Amino acid sequence: MKKIIIPTVLQASATELPYPDNYFDAVFTDPPYYDNINYAELSDFFYVWLKRSIGDLYPELFSTPLVPKSKEIVANPVRHGGEAKAKEFFETMLKRAFQEIYRVLKPNGIAVIVYTHKSTSGWETMINSLLDSGLVPTASWPIDTEMKTRLLAKDSAALASSIYIVCRKMEREDIGWFSDVKKEIRERIFNNLLWEEGIAGPDFFIACIGSAIEVFGRYKKVMDYEGNVIRADKLLEFVREVVTEYAIKQILHNGIAGELSALTKFYILWRWSFREAKVEFDEARKLAQSIGVHLERVWNRSFIKRDRNYIKVLGPQDRRLEDIENMREKDLIDVLHQVLLHWSKGRRDEMKRVLKETGYGENDAFYRVAQAVSETLPNDSKEKKLLDGFLSGKDRLILEIKDIKDKQGRLL
């Protein structure tokens, strides 16, 4: 005879589960992420109608005039009395929820936590809370969960995937040495197959965070040789560095990364990570730092623009030719923009002059950077169209530049 299992649905806070210790074989959860969505306020819209129509069938669920909000795990500055308090409230509650999962899970049980957050600070809290709860991450899976057409995805660097973190309640080794942990994480990132799967930008970064916490979480404590305890902030800094190094190599199809300036690498990495979106200053700073660029020293002087708390990396179409021409020191990217602006106006001789004078006209790295940037951009991007148009005439252009040089050589 078939055994029928009737599910029980109940309403309770994840921070106070009404179940005894070691009760569940499995726990699945998709926790909220700071202030991403104010679920309770949104629910009020439906709640008032449901209360009227089916409230008498479920009186215990509809006992309050609006959705109960005090235990909601969210960072809401209005409700919690300012930004700092809201952040603290969210972090305390999330930690409590993870501790509850640990408590109710059977010793051989499995917990799956779905997480996605594009800011590194969101990850920092999650990793510290998760590891402090005693749960040990044993596997992680990036899964494409988000609709590309949703409102948030349009103008921002929205994520397409979530990471499913599989955790168990198991013994951990006492101490892991950061140098060993780093070595293993690096090997994992360099040998992963995610790149071939087409996972790019912030999604690639968070998938690598998943792999990193599998290694990091095996220890009760990770320390460096100076005796410092390593927490999620240092772990994430390291993951970013390795991802940066790996991504640059992959985007440029190996080889020329060593020849390029930090600023050029930053540009390529930015387009790969965020395409043309504006990004919060702190996230932008972390990306820049991972490649050795101090954002504060370069913004508003070149293609990096700061607008209040956001950073935008300008493409050729956002810049004025005169501004680039007047720059005292030009990076490869500035020259590329200058050339593309001439190209877009059909000024072929000007374009050749710039390429010849700067020496980039016969420089393979210059064209490979242009190609790499184009590959990171979507088909409808203006910048991509300019790059592809310019690159389609590359061979002829190189011959013409050589020809000019030869003629000038003969005249001398």
Ligand X SMILES: C[S@@+](CC[C@H](N)C(=O)[O-])C[C@H]1O[C@@H](n2cnc3c(N)ncnc32)[C@H](O)[C@@H]1O
Per CB under 6 A, residues contacting ligand X are: 13-15, 30-32, 39, 71-73
Task: Name the minimum Å distance from CB 150 to ligand X.
Answer: 13
CB-nearer residue toward ligand X: 75 or 336: 75
Return all residues near 388 (Cβ < 8 A) that are at least 6 apart.
Answer: 374
Q: Over the Cα atoms of the chain, what is R_g?
A: 26
Task: Name the minimum Å distance from CB 29 to ligand X.
Answer: 8
CB-nearer residue toward ligand X: 166 or 391: 166
Element (H, E) at 102: helix 83-104
Residue 376 to residue 21: CA distance in whole angstroms: 49
Task: Name the minimum Å distance from CB 14 to ligand X.
Answer: 4
3 state SS for 104-147: HEEEEEEEEEEECCCCHHHHHHHHHHHHHHCCEEEEEEEEECCC
Helices 332-344 & 348-358 angle (0-180, nearest 10): 170
Task: Name the minimum Å distance from CB 13 to ligand X.
Answer: 4
CB-nearer residue toward ligand X: 30 or 282: 30
Long-range contacts of 392-398 (CB under 8 A, 24+ apart): 394/367, 397/351, 397/352, 397/355, 397/361, 398/361, 398/362
CB-nearer residue toward ligand X: 73 or 126: 73
CB-nearer residue toward ligand X: 13 or 250: 13
CB-nearer residue toward ligand X: 15 or 371: 15
Task: Name the minimum Å distance from CB 240 to ligand X.
Answer: 25
CB-nearer residue toward ligand X: 72 or 334: 72
**Strand 136-144 vs strand 161-168: parallel, antiparallel, or unpaired?**
antiparallel
- For 213, 219, 235, 268, 410, the CA distances from 241, given in Å and listed in that order, are 15, 22, 10, 15, 49
Task: Name the minimum Å distance from CB 77 to ligand X.
Answer: 17
Order the strands of the 304-307 sheet from edge to edge.
279-280, 310-313, 304-307
CA-nearest of 286, 287, 284, 279 to 155 is 279
Task: Name the minimum Å distance from CB 221 to ligand X.
Answer: 29
